[in-house]
Amino acid sequence: MTHLAKDMTPDVKWRDITPGCNIFEGGTSASVQTGDWRVLKPVIDWDKCRQCLLCAPVCPDMSIPVGKDGKRGEFDYFYCKGCGVCANVCPFDAITMVKDEK
């Protein structure tokens, strides 16, 4: 039996989880806090941001919320791992990766 991320408990054995390199479900960071091991964090410069939303769909952790108004919001650092994909795709250099001071 394969378990979803939201169903993981200390009682789940390693043989019961999804094997590596297989995508079983999307958006698991919404169920599991993943931002604790971040070393770098993205910071947005709102003066440079053009709301093109190229950053939101490439975020593997769904850490860039887009509101009903179609505009992106602040980063959700609770889930952000600091991978930097958002900064790499931003054509306006509006996202900078900085050291995360926890």
User: Looking at per-residue confidence, does 24 or 79 come out higher?
Assistant: 79
Residues 6+ apart with CB under 8 A from 65: 56, 72, 73, 74, 76
CA dist., res. 53 & res. 2, Å (int): 34
Query: What proportion of the chain, given as a percentage, has pLDDT over 90?
Result: 55
Task: Give strand ranges (E) for the chain.
Answer: 40-44, 95-99
Residue 46 has pLDDT above 90, yes or no: yes
Q: pTM higher than 0.85 for the full model?
A: no
d(CA 23, CA 67): 27
- Reported as a single tens digit per residue, the pLDDT across 64-97 is 999 999 999 999 998 899 999 999 999 999 999 9
Q: How many domains does the chain have?
A: 2
Q: In this structure, what token pair is assigned to residue 20? A: 């590596």
Judge if 63 and 78 occupy the same domain: yes
Q: What is the CATH number of the domain that holds 62?
A: 3.30.70.20
Residue ranges making up the domain that contains 21: 1-26
Given this model, what pLDDT does residue 7 score?
73
Question: How many other C-beta atoms lie within 10 A of the C-beta of residue 83?
Answer: 17
What is the overall mean pLDDT for the chain? 83
42 and 85 in one domain? yes
- What pLDDT sits at residue 1? 54
By the 8 A CB rule, do 3 and 16 touch?
A: yes
